[in-house]
Amino acid sequence: MDRRNSTGGDRRQRGGGGDSINAQAILDRFTSVDNLIEETNDTLADVAQTQVAISEVLSEMSDVELSLPSRNELPLYSDVVVDAGESETHEVEMPKDGKLTKVWLTFPQGANQSIGIGVEGVDGESLIPFGPSGYNFIALDGTSIDFDLDYRVQKGETITVNYVNNRDPDSDSDDLEAFPSAILIVTEGV
């Protein structure tokens, strides 16, 4: 009898190990995939509707002018070479009216807290470290530290950055110079 002419009866395919594959299990798998695709399509339709609603709201708002405050942050750099046993002062002139909003102090690696940095305001008051007079420096080792400030400045005024190297100049060490630095951020329009 030819295969094309067979009655077919109960046909089952056999796997490599002789196990029969249940046709219902295959159909169930396809049905679950179809259900996942249908859920995904519903979610995408919801997203598309939300996008249309957002675009309509934005198009209605296009007639409204938003005035945002101007914020132009100006980084001002201060760095010096400080010999052992010496101190240096660097005056940083303010290029614009605004506020001193942030200061980063960077201490050289190997300083062993012998390199100090301090920041004074326009009238000589101690901004960093903030506190009683006589405590004019912060000393750290191989790190940077930042401070948030809210200190109003005007164009042409100066902020003073003080540096000190407390290493003993009579020491036999070859590496006594220090290269500390500061970055001052002045924000315009605040």
The DSSP line for 114-157 is: -EEEEEE-TTS-EEES-SSTT---EE-SS-EEEEEEEEEE-TT-
Q: Tens digits of per-residue pLDDT, 90-101? A: 999 999 899 999
Nearest Cα residue to 141 out of 170, 165, 104, 115: 115
Q: Domain total for the chain?
A: 2
Q: Are residue 35 and residue 129 in the same domain, yes or no?
A: no
Q: Are residue 99 and residue 34 in the same domain, yes or no?
A: no
Mean pLDDT of 102-130: 90
Q: Are residue 179 and residue 154 in the same domain, yes or no?
A: yes
Domain span including residue 82: 73-187
Q: How confident is the model at residue 34 (pLDDT cuts 50, 70, 90)?
A: confident
pLDDT of residue 153 exceeding 90: yes
Nearest Cα residue to 94 out of 1, 2, 190, 185: 185
Q: Are residue 146 and residue 180 in the same domain, yes or no?
A: yes
pLDDT of residue 159 exceeding 90: yes
Helix H or strand E segment including 99:
strand 98-106
pLDDT of residue 4: 45
Q: What is the pTM of this model?
A: 0.60
